[in-house]
Amino acid sequence: MKKIKVSAPGKLHLLGEHVVVYGKPAMITAVDKRCFVEIYPRKNTPAGEKKIEISSSNLKVSKIVSEKEIIAKTKDAQAKWETYIKTNDIALLKSITSDSLDFTIIVIGEALKCLKKSLSGGFKLSIKSDIPIGSGMGSSAAVAVSVAGAIYLLFHKALDKAIVNEIAYSAEQKKHGMPSGGDNSASCFGGLVWYRKEAAELKIIQPISFSLSKKLASNFSIIQTGTPNETTGEMVGMVRALYQKDTVNIDSIFTSQEKLVKELLPAIKNENESELIRIIKEGERNLEVLGVVSDFAKSIIKKI
C-alpha cells in the first residue's frame, strides 16, 4: 500500500463561540499549529487481516483494533450520543471517548460508514500534533479532519474537503455532544472562515477573501490561560442547560453576539483597531454572562 500523509491546522474563534451552536454566525481562523497523520503498512501482517495499529506520540499510547471492533465502537457511540441529545447526560457523553484512542477509532468508523467502504487489509496509523489539548485551539477537530482525510485517501486519489468535513463533524459530535461544526470547518478549509449552522443539513462555510492585516495581526497574541476543569462537551452542555432555564435572557445574549460578529468583519477589513477592541470587550462580557470565561481570562481581557 502507498504511504499517506495528511495534516490539518488548529483554530481560534475570533468571535461567536458557543452562540454558533444555536444558529448564530462565528468568525474562526486557522492557526499555524497542526496535527499530522500518517498511514503506512504494518510489517509481517497476514494477508487480509483487517487490523489497524493506532499510535499517538503526544498521548504516548498505541492500540491494535480490528475493523469489526471499529464498526462496533462507532455504532455504540452513535447510540449513546442519541441518548445524550435527549437527556443532556454529560457522564454518558464522556463515556463515549473514555479511552484515549476511542475518538480516533470513532473517526475511522465514521469515515468507513460515510464512504461505504471496507478495509482491504491492515495498516499503521500514527498521530502527532503541535496543538495543545484543552486550549480552545481545536485539537480534537484537527485530529478528526486529518484522520478522516487519511482514511479518505485510502480509497480516493484526491481529497473532497466537503466529505472529509462531514466525517469530522460526525465524530466531533460523539466527543462534544452538540458542537456547531465550526471548529472542524476551520481546520478543514483553513484561513479565515465565516461559519453559520442554519440547520443540521445546512451549514454556511464561507472562506473570507481577506485576512488580518500585518498591522492588526501584530497586536494579536495567543495566551495560554490554563486547561479548564470542564471539557468542551461539558461547557456546551452547561450553556444548553442555562438556555433551557432562561431562554429569553440568554437568547438576547446570542442576538448581541450575532450583531458583534457582523460588525467584526468590516472592522478587520478596514483595519479599525479601536472598533475591534470594542467588539472584543463587548463579546467577552456576553461570554461572562454565559459563564464560560475563567477569572484569569477576564483579567486579561479587561486590560485590553
How much is the average pLDDT of 273-297?
90
Is the pLDDT score of 162 beyond 70? yes
Give the pLDDT confidence of 230-277 residue by residue, as tens digits: 788 888 888 999 999 999 999 999 999 999 999 999 999 999 999 999
Instruction: For residue 231, give the nearest of 105, 110, 95 by alpha carbon.
Output: 95
Is the pLDDT score of 85 beyond 90? yes
Q: Which three cell numbers stand for residue 213?
A: 492585516
The CATH class that applies to domain 214-302 reads alpha beta
Q: Where in the chain is the domain with CATH 3.30.230.10?
A: 4-207
Q: Answer for the pair 221, 213: CB distance below 8 angstroms, yes or no.
A: no
pLDDT score, position 293 = 85
pLDDT score, position 163 = 98
Q: What pLDDT band is residue 49 in, cutting at 50, 70 and 90?
A: confident
Euclidean distance between CA atoms 241 and 88, whole angstroms = 8
Return mean pLDDT, the chain.
Answer: 92
Euclidean distance between CA atoms 249 and 263, whole angstroms = 22
Instruction: For residue 10, give the nearest of 104, 129, 108, 110 by alpha carbon.
Output: 129
- CATH fold group of domain 4-207: Ribosomal Protein S5; domain 2 (3.30.230)
pLDDT score, position 301 = 74
Euclidean distance between CA atoms 20 and 28, whole angstroms = 11
Euclidean distance between CA atoms 24 and 114, whole angstroms = 27
Is the pLDDT score of 69 beyond 70? yes
Name, in order, each residue with C-beta under 8 angstroms of 160's C-beta and a sequence gap of 6 or more.
152
Q: What pLDDT band is residue 304 in, cutting at 50, 70 and 90?
A: low
pLDDT score, position 244 = 93
Euclidean distance between CA atoms 68 and 109, whole angstroms = 10
Q: Where in the chain is the domain with CATH 3.30.70.890?
A: 214-302
CA distances from 172 to 83, 104, 199 (A): 16, 10, 17
Give the pLDDT confidence of 174-223 residue by residue, as tens digits: 999 988 899 999 999 999 999 998 887 888 999 898 888 888 888 888 88
Is the pLDDT score of 52 beyond 90? yes
- Global pTM reads 0.88
Q: What pLDDT band is residue 45 in, cutting at 50, 70 and 90?
A: confident
